[in-house]
Amino acid sequence: NAGVTQTPKFQVLKTGQSMTLQCAQDMNHNSMYWYRQDPGMGLRLIYYSASEGTTDKGEVPNGYNVSRLNKREFSLRLESAAPSQTSVYFCASRYSPDQPQHFGDGTRLSIL
Which of 53, 18, 11 lies closest to 32, judged by CA? 53
Among 23, 33, 60, 87, contact with other proteins (rule: CB under 8 A): 33
When asked if residue 105 is in the footprint of other proteins (CB under 8 A), the reply is: yes
Task: Decide whether 9 or 77 has the Cβ nearer to other proteins.
Answer: 9
Q: Angle CA(37)–CA(108)–CA(23) in degrees, nearest 5?
A: 85
Residues in 54-83 that interact with other proteins by CB under 8 A: 58
Cβ-based nearer residue to other proteins, 42 or 53:
42
Give the whole-angstrom CA distance, residue 47 versus residue 67.
Answer: 10
